[in-house]
A and B are shown apart, each in its own frame.
Chain A
């Protein structure tokens, strides 16, 4: 069974430019998470989807970040415009909805804003 797939793996952009990340979760997983991980830190939740509904986006900087999960499967996270402080690894994870469900991560996208 295929795992969580993310693309691109790496992205270098100039500040003020837009950038988008894509995630394809494990088949059948209703819950999808987007996390941001800075060097030496644990993953920090940006947004959580249950099917196509964003149920927890309190940590998403809504002035520049947006996300969507059309049809409750693939998801896209966008930053526009990017700032130097957005440089981080963006991780997508998915799980079944049950409380004991384990979450599995994709390979992540390493974003560098210059």
Chain B
């Protein structure tokens, strides 16, 4: 079992829709959770971090964390073509290594 699992996609949504990206992790001691966006040929860019159960909103992005289910998700409201990218989920336990999933490729169709 991989430490961090994501559906590889591709996930396609129409412009203006809600895109939902999911991630599960295996280490129950994980404490910090991050979402990165990676455009083709570019390096990962941090877009959200979440540490407590529940929702965290930042503009059109909402991160959701459920530690009991070992599940973290990212919702993108009013999706735009510019949101088309690979979204990477990353998990960290204490001040230890940052482990990434394989990413979900999102395409927003105009």
Q: Mark B70-110, 1 if CB is under 8 A from A, else 0.
A: 00000000000000000010101111111111110000000
Interface residues of B (CB under 8 A from A): 4, 6, 8, 31-32, 34, 42-46, 49, 51, 88, 90, 92-103
Chain A nearest CB from B49 CB (Å) reads 6
Task: State which of A43, A44, A48, A98 has its C-beta within 8 Å of the C-beta of B44.
Answer: A43
Work out how many contacts link A and B, with CB atoms closer than 8 A: 62
29 contacting pairs across A/B (C-beta < 8 A):
A31-B95, A33-B98, A40-B8, A40-B102, A40-B103, A42-B4, A42-B6, A42-B88, A42-B103, A43-B44, A44-B100, A45-B99, A50-B95, A89-B43, A91-B43, A99-B31, A99-B32, A99-B95, A99-B96, A100-B32, A100-B51, A102-B34, A102-B49, A103-B34, A103-B46, A103-B98, A105-B45, A107-B43, A108-B43
B43 to chain A, nearest CB (A): 4
